[in-house]
Each structure stands twice: as C-alpha cells, then as structure tokens.
Amino acid sequence: MRTAELTRETKETRVSVALDLDNAAAPNIRTGIGFFDHMLTALFFYAKIGAVIDVDGDLYVDAHHSVEDCGIVIGTALREAYGDKAGIRRFADCHIPMDEALAFCALDISNRPYLSFEAEFPQAIIGGYDAGLTAEFFRAIAVNAGLTVHLKASGDNSHHITEAIFKAFGACLKTALTVDGNAVTSTKGIL
C-alpha cells in the first residue's frame, strides 16, 4: 500500500498530512489560507492522490511558516508513500494552460533534490496569499521528497499562473508515480 500519515509540530505550526497514492478520493484540505487550500486541492486532484491535510499555523505573523512547513510534510509523506520506487515510471513532463497563463513542469523521482523555478507574478498577493511563497512550497517538496523539479510559467494574472503551476506539478506527479513494471527505473538499479 502506497500510503503515509505524518504530523510535524513546531513552535510555529502543526501540520498533519495523510496521503494515499492509489486512491483518488476528493482532497480534504484545511490550511487557514483560502487560496492555498484551492491550490493544494487542484494539485492532489490532478495527481489523483487522496489527501487529507490539516494545518494550524502562526498566520498572525504571515503565511510563510504554514506554506513552507506544509511542503516539508507533504514531501516527506510522498517519499514515505512511494517507498523503494519499484515499478514507477519516474519521469514526467507536461504543459498546462490556464487562460493567458502557461506552466511547464518536468520532474524526476530521482532521490536527487533540486528545484528550478522560473515564474514572475505580476500581482504579489492573491486573496491574501503571497505569490512568492509558491517557490518556497515547491522547494520544500523537492528537498523532502527527493525530487528533481523544473517549473516554468508565464502570464499576466498571478492567480492563473499559480494555478497552472500547481496543476502541472500534480499532473506530472500522477504520471511519474504510475506503476507500469516491478523494477526500479534506473540503469544503476537503485534510486
């Protein structure tokens, strides 16, 4: 079973994440940041991953700790859920348009954490969400899940740009995690 359930508690946040890579149940997300909830729902919907996420953070400071810590726990849960990576496709890439915005994602479940992030956000704030936290979130996932991730996006509307990025990552994750064999997809025999 490709599942994981984790809780991480610090002086700034308490983040609980439950993931099921093989059950596309409707995501149940509560971070206290409406736009971020919307983005996480889109990510897990397109990844076809069942997700229950509950975050209590120091939002009186700002959303940074909640968003970054959420990425840390999601990344760690992903790593735990996909285990030894036997049989997964490993690589994926896709383009996702959203109106005038276009996002590209390529990822490798490589055990070599790296994030390349190229996107500019014309509007810095989206419904109370700081668009600049998007890169922090994906960096936390890449590092903690052991992913190589390349994200690029362009557009005129920060909401569209951000949503296209989250959807592209989710769609790539779905493809990369698809099991279509039983061996590790590596010439080295290990990831």
Residue extents of the structural domains in the chain: 3-177
Distance CA 119, CA 56 (A): 28
Nearest CA to 164 out of 122, 143, 134, 133 is that of: 134
Structure confidence at residue 154 (pLDDT): 98
Nearest to 9 by CA among 86, 93, 69: 69
Using an 8 Å Cβ cutoff, are 90 and 190 in contact?
A: no
* Cβ contact 105:151 at 8 Å: yes
- State the Cα–Cα distance between residues 65 and 13, nearest whole angstrom: 7
| Collapsed DSSP state (helix, strand, coil) of residue 90 | coil
For the chain (191 residues), the mean pLDDT of every run of 10, in chain order, is 97 98 95 98 98 97 97 98 92 98 97 97 97 98 98 98 98 96 74 71
Element spanning 105, H or E: strand 101-108
Give the pLDDT score at 128: 92
The predicted pLDDT at position 184 comes to 75
Q: Model pTM?
A: 0.96
Q: What is the structure's pLDDT at 58?
A: 97
Query: What is the pLDDT, as a whole number, of residue 188?
Result: 75
What per-residue confidence (pLDDT) applies to 141?
A: 98
CA angle 133, 171, 42 (to 5 degrees): 55
Provide the CATH number for the domain formed by 3-177 in this structure.
3.30.230.40
